[in-house]
Every structure is written in structure tokens, then in C-alpha cells.
Structure 1
Amino acid sequence: MGTRNGPHRAALLAGAIALGAASALTGVTPAFAAPVDVAGGSLDWGFKASFRAYVSTGNGNPPIATSNGATRNADGTFDFPATGGTYDAAAGTATVSYGGTVVFSYPAHLFEITVSNPTLVVDGDGIGSLKADVDLAAQNGGTDQHLDQAEIATLVTTAPTVTDGDVSFNALAATLTASGASAFAGFYPAGTALDPVTASASASGEGPTDPTDPTDPGNGGGGSAAQTVTAAVSGGALTLASAGSAVALSAAMPGQTATGNLNAVTVSDLRGTSAGWDLVGQVTEFTAAGGAVIPAANLGWTPSAQVATSALVAANGAKNAVTAGAPVAPGTGLGSSRTLCSAETGSSLGSATCGAALNLGIPESSAAGEYSAVLTLTLA
């Protein structure tokens, strides 16, 4: 089953309803299934997506590593194989151990955090916990920590899916505990929402057999082979590129308006965090030979913006959206910083192209001459 705050810091309620013949007809009390030993299954969890994205930009070698049975899922989370424990689908309880190790390493920010051997604990009351061994190597003179099976997250539990006696718990909401916050060097405070937890447990090492599985003895032949393909996606940068460096406005007389178009600029947000951005512009005074000046406030613009198209399919509802800034009229224009375009947090992934129609109002008192100014665009 595969499913950043300072840079120097480093459920499961199983409600089972038994349906059967009325015992009054036989005088026999219905029997309840006993807990079963775990022989197979897996746990998928990523701690927190923003933390993974942050560490992925670091100088660890590699920044994030898996070992001892843990593997990386296609969505960047981690898969830990079951190693033991018990579960009772009817009672809604489970204590399942999973194996494997994940290391988050960022030497430039002076930490290495090792998480291993997570354990899922469910008491059947709607609240569960996720425990793990955690080692913090604080390389900035801080206090190292070693925690054995510490509760690092509480879980809001829901009824499992039961298939042939095997159970799976899907997307359980997880919240960071005080001990988890400490183990992760105070990157996030206790109470922070973490990535959801998905887990399974089975009484057999292989889990239920799919009736269409070609390994079923009843199948007359054929075969299949599966290969797991993994890809590590590291965070990139927030960049700005311009299609040109000079704009020539139309000639105009005093009292008229000189017009033109800003060279299109492209903003690319490849950080992998969708943290949002703003692109603003401001112009200097227009000056001509002999000291003649047209004030900067006389340059206005009408911004435009659109998302760059892509043939690729976005995952998990991710979207890219850009908003053009408000028009600014000559006389109240770009003498102060004005927004050309922006993208909100949660919708800034990918690239967008921004531009503007420029309008320079020429005061009637202006001397004849060739005026120039510098328009600076700043991305943050």
C-alpha cells in the first residue's frame, strides 16, 4: 500500500456490527473473534509535506534517506512494512509495529533527525496515537535527543475497512504532540496538523488474494510482474524572467499620453511549497537632457496576467492561479510600489506570465526632449 518555521530548528474507532441469526432459536451465545497476530501490512506517512519540501532544498547527502525496509512513495511520503502486533476488527483495537528508518538531514541548518519503527496504537474510543523512535542530532550546540517509542502524534480514528479479516485505516488525521515537537527541534508547535496516516494489517504475510490474481491456483495460466517506480522531487526556486529590457513609448505632445507595453515577464514557482508570491513595480522620475523632469507618478499601467499552460496533469487538486494587479491611472501611478500580479498561498505552483499596458501622462508644462526612466520589478 503505497500511498519549514525557522530554518535553524530543525483513528481509529473500529465500529463493527455483527449480523447473524437470532441466538434465541438455538440457545447459543454468539462468539466474538479474538485478536489476531499481524503478519503483513504497511503504514504510509510523511510527517509534514512542508517540512519535506524544506529539507529537500538542503545540502544533506541525500537530504532525505530511507533504509531498513522503509521506502519513498510517489507522493513523497514514506512506506513502512508491518513487523508485528495484534488487531481486533470487531473490538476496534490495534497495536501494530512497523519497521524502517527515515533520515532528514540539513547540515547547513545544523540538524539531522532520524525517525524509525513507527507503532500504531488504537484503543477503540476514537482517539489513537502514533509512536516512533526519534533521534535528533542538533549540530548547533543544542541538546541532542533520543526517544524510544515516544508518542509523536495523536490520531482521530475512524472505522477501518475490513476485507477477508484484514483491516486498513485510511487518512487518519494526525496532530503533533509536545514530545513530537521537541523531537523535531521545535520546527512546529504542539497541536500542528501533520500529514494523515494510512495503515493496514493482515493476519497473513501477503494479505487477501485478489480473485483475478494470476497466481490463484484456479487460474489456468498467464502471469504478471510488478515494479515499483520511485522519483525524488527536490524543491527548486522562485524566479523572474523578462522578455526584454527596454520599452519605447509612443511620441506625444504636452497634454497628451504616451503609450506602450511592458515586456512580458514570467514568474516560475518551482519551490514545491505553493507559498505564494507578489510581483511589484516602481519607476524613477523621467529625466531629459538639461534637467527636465516628468514625475514618476505620471506613469500608469493596466496589468494583465495568465497562467502558463502545460500538458502535464496536476495531482491531488493542485492548482496554479495568478491575479493581475489593479489598474493605476497617470497622476497616481508608479511613483510608489504597485502590484503587477500575484499568486495566493496554495495556488502558486508552476509558471505565470504578466504584462501591462503603459500610459505616461505628459504634463502641459513639459519641455520638449527625450525622457527616460527605470522601471524596477521586484518578486517576493
Structure 2
Amino acid sequence: MAGSLNWGVKQSFRGYVESAGGVIETMGGAERAADGGFTFAAAPGGDLRLDADGRPVGRGLFVGNVRFEAHGGMLSVYLADPNIEIGPSGAVITVADSSARTHRMEIATLDLGAITTGLAGELVIPTALSMDGSRLLGDHYPPKTALDPVRLTLR
């Protein structure tokens, strides 16, 4: 069962927003981590777990919002309630893309073949930008651009 999700989206994107005089806000249960990334707590209803081979399977549900805004609102990105969804066709991160939470979009893929173990047993999973994720970030990064790795804690 998922305990928490730590993910910074993309360090250079965070740096750009802040250097442009913009703001990065966390709400609804998300918190800013010491490394500048974000921590999201597990939400009820997920079934993310390790299988018999020690690989993550299932769906992890997490709560919290992150809003990036710069250039007087010309750059505005909203991410809410990330999910990790692992199925037969691969593993992805989806988010609600507005405060109404009426639409979810796949923003990143996870490379389950490159998982490592971090401090305190967390799973460190490389991520890459998806097509929709590229659009969400204003088409500044092409699909498959490396993002910050996911740091996943399972209980």
C-alpha cells in the first residue's frame, strides 16, 4: 500500500518559474520538500503494492495540488491529486488538470525497468514527459524529456 509520493516534476522548470519571479504553491495536502520537490500523501482506495518479485503493481492514489504561475499568469500550470497507474501496457502518472477535477491526463511515464532503492527503502523510479505532459508544460519540453524521478514509499 502506498505511503507517500515525492516528485519534483522537473527541477529546471521549478527553477525557471522562480527565477522569472513566479510562484509555486502547494495546497490540499501537498507539501514542498526540502529538495524543492513535492510530497503527496496517499489517498484511500489505491491498491499499489509490491508483487512477489518486488516490483510495484496496481494504482496509487495521492492527494494535493501544485500550482506554477509566472509572467503575470501567461505561464500557469495546475497539477492535482497525482495517481500512479501500473498496468499491462506500462506505468504512468496521471493528474487532474484543474481545480474542478473533472479531467485526468497522463503527464509522465515511469521506467519500471530502472527502479533503484533510495534512503529508507523508498523506490526511486525514473520518469519521462508524455505528449499531454509536454502540452501541459507549454510545449517547452518535448515528449520523452527526462523529469525528476518519483520517490515512492510503500507501507
Task: Settle same-fold status: TM greater than 0.5.
Answer: yes
Question: Which residue does 1:228 correspond to in 2?
Answer: none
Any idea what SS the aligned residue of 1:55 has? helix
Any idea what SS the aligned residue of 2:97 has? strand
Give the superposed CA RMSD.
Answer: 2.4
% identical aligned pairs? 31
Looking at both structures, which has the greater relative contact order when contacts are Cα pairs under 8 Å and sequence separation is at least 6? 2
Tell me, yes or no, if the aligned pair for 1:67 and 1:102 is still in contact at 8 Å: yes
Question: Which residue does 1:154 correspond to in 2?
Answer: 109
Unpaired runs of 5+ residues, structure 1, are 1-37, 136-145, 162-167, 203-380
Comparing both structures, which one devotes a greater share of its residues to helix? 2
Counterpart code for 1:128:
A
1:130 aligned onto 2:93: yes
TM alignment of 1:353-368, pairs within 5 A: none
Aligned residues: 145
What do the CA deviations read for 1:129-179 (whole angstroms, capped 9, x no partner)?
A: 1111124xxxxxxxxxx8722111111115687xxxxxx652211110101
1:196 aligned onto 2:116: no
Counterpart code for 1:184:
L
Question: Which residue does 2:136 correspond to in 1?
Answer: 183
CA shift for structure 1 position 108: 3.7
2:40 to 58, 74, 80: 80
1:171 to 124, 133, 136: 124
Tell me, yes or no, if the aligned pair for 1:152 and 1:181 is still in contact at 8 Å: yes
TM-score (ref. length: structure 2): 0.82
2:27 to 67, 70, 74: 67
Any idea what SS the aligned residue of 1:41 has? strand
CA shift for structure 1 position 88: 4.0
CA distance in 1 between counterparts of 2:141 and 2:39 reads 23
Higher Rg: 1
1:49 aligned onto 2:11: yes
Seen in structure 2, the aligned counterparts of structure 1 residues 160 and 98 have a Cα distance that, compared at 3 Å, is: farther
TM-score (ref. length: structure 1): 0.35
Seen in structure 2, the aligned counterparts of structure 1 residues 52 and 88 have a Cα distance that, compared at 3 Å, is: closer
CA shift for structure 1 position 64: 0.6
Question: Which residue does 1:265 correspond to in 2?
Answer: none
Unpaired runs of 5+ residues, structure 2, are none
**Once superposed, which parts of structure 1, at least 4 consecutive aligned residues long, lie more than 4 Å away?**
158-161
CA distance in 2 between counterparts of 1:45 and 1:65 reads 14
